Amino acid sequence: MTTTIPPRQDTFNMKTQISLAAAAITLLLSACGGSGIPSQPKGEISENRTAAFKSMMPEFTRMGKMVKDEEPYDVEKFKQAAASFAESSKKPFTLFESDPQGNGRALPAVWSDGAKFEAEKTKFAAAVEKLNAAAQTGKLDEIKAAYGETGASCKSCHDSFRAPE
């Protein structure tokens, strides 16, 4: 005699519970990520601002490779990169007007919390000036500290005022 085991009655309930739990976890994780505000389309002002920020990166990257010992430290090349970075770092901040066609990854807090944004700009400008001054001395220990401060300033502003990708 063969005995058949009937299917468990709670299989449907278990699958439903797993699906609901997965949906809840997904919702929770999406709520925790970044600001929760997706990036917007970009208008011309926003595109120009992004281009200005990207134009700073070759010098910062070049300096970073020397600071991290990925390339030999060359005093003159570092001085030139720091001076160029100090100059190019000013331009993006002249382009922070709200773009009616879309602000890309710039969060509304840039304009709604102007005092905090201005404080971040001031902190960044001071860090860049310190980096440039350290670079002109050629003292690698001072340069490394100033480079780290500049990077931390970038991150601080991005954490508060830039939407995740």
- Domain locations in the chain? 44-161
The 10s digit of each residue's pLDDT in 82-120 is 999 999 999 999 999 999 999 999 999 999 999 999 999
Cα–Cα distance, 97 to 25 (Å, whole number): 38
DSSP output for 30-48: HHHSTTS-----B-HHHHH
The pLDDT-based confidence of 19 (bands split at 50, 70, 90) is: very low
Binding residues for heme c, by number, are 154, 157-158
* Integer Cα distance of 94 and 101 in angstroms: 18
Report which of 35, 40, 49, 162 is spatially closest to residue 102, judged by C-alpha positions.
40
Extract the annotated binding site.
154, 157-158
Using CB atoms within 10 A of its CB, is residue 134 exposed (0-12), middle (13-18) or buried (19+)? buried
Fold category of 44-161 in CATH: Four Helix Bundle (Hemerythrin (Met), subunit A) (1.20.120)
**pLDDT tens, residue by residue, 38-88:** 678 889 999 999 999 999 999 999 999 999 999 999 999 999 999 999 999
At 65, list the tokens: 């490779």
The pTM of the full predicted model, rounded to 2 decimals, is: 0.75
Assign 165 a pLDDT band (cuts: 50, 70, 90): confident
